[in-house]
Amino acid sequence: MDAVAQGRQDLHGRDNLCHLSFIPACYGQRVPKGTHTYGYKETATYRYRPHLSNPSSRLCYGSLNRCRVHCWNEVNGCGVVLPASQVAEHVRQHCQHHVTDCPNCSAVVLSHNICAHLKSRCTTCLVHAAPEACQGTDNNENSHLAAFEREVKERVRELDCRLTQLSLDSGLQNDKLAEICHNINHLNETLKEQFRTALSGTLDRLEKIEDAVKALLALKKTREERVGELNCKLSQLSLKSDCLSDKLTEICLVSNHLKGALTEQFGPALDSNVAAIKALYTEKSESLRTTITSALASVPSDRGMHHQVIKGYAALKAKALTDGWSWSMSDKVYLRSYLMSWGIRFQKEGDTVYVALRIQLHEGREDDFVHWPFTKELKLCVIHPENGQERQLCGKLTTEDSKKLYCGPIEGSKVSVYFVSTMVESSDIEHHVYIKEDQLLLRLEVL
């Protein structure tokens, strides 16, 4: 293997520097002005030439250490001159003139100065190019920089306006946030207070519930003890009841035996005697009832109240609808020592039937001892047949207007009269269900 091949192999095995050294920026520097395309001087310093007449020509490996070239970042201000074999290592590790584009303004800035450039709001251009490399582009760059400066200033003004508005909005938001924080704190305190109150009330209720549960448990225990005692007593009673049941069974057998024997021996005689006693009792009770009724009717009484059952209510009302009137009177009875009969009169007025009080005075045994004329106040009531509830059909009425009919002691019976002022519609009585089994229960009071 010749020396050139050995050198190339060494280059490829040493950090891949060969492919960096032989790019156009590298091998283009080996062509000095006024020399042959393939010639070179060992002590010459070559500069970068972007356009080569024969870019395919390359330096051999042995010449890399003798050929001195400028750094590839010469246009960015790096003035280092070193052998071509060391250019790649210098660019990669030691050169401080690498450039990059600003992300905001797109200006070309040294990489290690990009932070300072951004902090200055893109107002400084921190690229120091070689004078001979920048002379051809100064005018163009100045125009671009002027336009860029105008745009930057416009952007700065917009940013100032937006920052001012943002500051105002931030102040408002801070006020609102402060108010929200205050409300949240107030709500937090309120909730804490309510929680403490609710917790205290809950604890009190739990204590009461605990006391109640303890009382219930004690009551349950007491009742269980009583139930146990009752079960014992029931067991004893059950045993006694079994004994009594056996004895009662024996007694029943004996009584049935005795009943059969007595019935067989005395049955016919007892039946005949019982029938005779019943017949005699019926006969005597009827005669006694008649005697008592006549005696009570003939004996003066100072009572002031009498009840009467009006039977055949529907027939009396139908007769009043047909004939215009009808009545029902009680037997003679003493009320406040006056002998009288009383009842009700059905009177037709148009299509309506009215019910009114009707009384009739009779000659009595105490007419010489009572006050005349008869001016007692009367009160008529109807009584509910089921619950006994009373309803006054008319208020207290006086007989002052009938003095000519009740002016003094009488012989026989006075003419019966009815009081128009006491008339009540029969439908009103029927509506309140005072009629039962076609009967109406009334009560008259002489006051």
Tell whether 131 and 86 lie within a shared domain.
Answer: no
Tell whether 197 and 235 lie within a shared domain.
Answer: yes
Tell whether 291 and 341 lie within a shared domain.
Answer: no
The domain boundary residue, chosen from 95, 121, 152: 95
How many domains does the chain fold into?
A: 4
Tell whether 85 and 205 lie within a shared domain.
Answer: no
The confidence score (pLDDT) of residue 75 equals: 82
The domain boundary residue, chosen from 249, 271, 298: 298
Tell whether 368 and 388 lie within a shared domain.
Answer: yes
Identify the domain containing residue 40 by its residue range: 3-95
The domain boundary residue, chosen from 247, 280, 298: 298
Tell whether 127 and 59 lie within a shared domain.
Answer: no
Tell whether 436 and 310 lie within a shared domain.
Answer: yes
Tell whether 178 and 154 lie within a shared domain.
Answer: no
The confidence score (pLDDT) of residue 291 equals: 66
The confidence score (pLDDT) of residue 28 equals: 41
> Who contacts 434 (Cβ-Cβ below 8 Å, separation ≥6)?
382, 383, 384, 385, 391, 440, 441
The confidence score (pLDDT) of residue 126 equals: 53
Tell whether 342 and 396 lie within a shared domain.
Answer: yes
Tell whether 438 and 339 lie within a shared domain.
Answer: yes
**Per-residue tens of pLDDT for the chain, all 447 residues:** 443 344 444 444 443 433 333 344 443 444 344 433 333 333 334 444 333 334 334 555 556 667 888 888 888 888 888 888 888 888 888 888 888 888 887 778 888 888 888 888 787 655 554 444 444 455 666 777 888 888 888 888 889 888 888 888 888 888 899 999 999 999 989 999 888 888 888 888 899 999 999 999 999 999 899 888 888 988 888 888 888 888 888 888 888 888 777 777 777 777 777 788 878 777 776 776 666 556 555 554 567 889 999 999 999 999 999 999 998 998 889 888 888 889 999 999 888 999 988 888 888 888 888 887 777 888 888 888 888 888 887 655 555 555 555 666 666 676 667 676 678 888 888 887 788 888 999 999 988
